[in-house]
Structure formats: C-alpha cells, structure tokens
Amino acid sequence: MPGKNVSKAELLSPDEVGLREELRANVQKLAGEIGERNMWHYVALDAAADLSKILFREPGCEPDETAMKRADNRATISRRKFQGIVRRSS
C-alpha cells in the first residue's frame, strides 16, 4: 500500500505460511506444468479447468459450467462460475 512501510511487517502465521505454499504450488502447477492455455492449446486449457474444479471443490465450492462451441467447431469451452467461496480463518 502506498505510504506503508512493509519492511517491518509481522512474520506470517503458520496458517498464512501454509496458504502461501499452497498458492505457490497451484501457480507452479498452472504456469510451470500445464503452461500456456487457450483455444490453440486446448488440452492445457482443459487441464487448467479440471484443476480449478478440484481446487474450488476442496473448500466446498461447486462450479457451475456453461458449455460453448467455437464457430469452427474445433473445440468446446466452458464458462465456470464458482459459488460459495469462503475465506480461510487465520
């Protein structure tokens, strides 16, 4: 935040450290393992969608999917809406 000195920030709690490591692992899975994902890299796009469903279901959220087709019928994509996201308590 502007004007706030973060060099003297408090240490992370054990829950915050765990959340940081979980986020780091999820980003590594998406960016490092799955990689580029779009309509031209559809297998990776589908893998990212599957991962997102798993990650949102873990805390009890249920994705709502709406299928859509590309005009050239080369791929089907799904719009995902996640409901019931809860914040973890620290």
| Structural domain spans, the chain | 13-83
- At residue 88, the pLDDT reads 45
Query: Position of tokens 């799955």?
Result: 34
pTM above 0.75, yes or no: no
Percent of the chain scored above 70 by pLDDT?
66
- Convert the pLDDT of each residue in 5-48 to its tens digit: 667 778 899 999 999 999 999 999 999 999 988 878 888 888 88
Pure H helices in 5-90: 14-27, 42-57
- At residue 27, the pLDDT reads 93
Nearest to 49 by CA among 24, 75, 86, 16: 75
Cα three-residue angle 56-33-66, rounded to 5 degrees: 40
- At residue 49, the pLDDT reads 85
Angstrom distance (rounded) from CA 11 to CA 17: 9
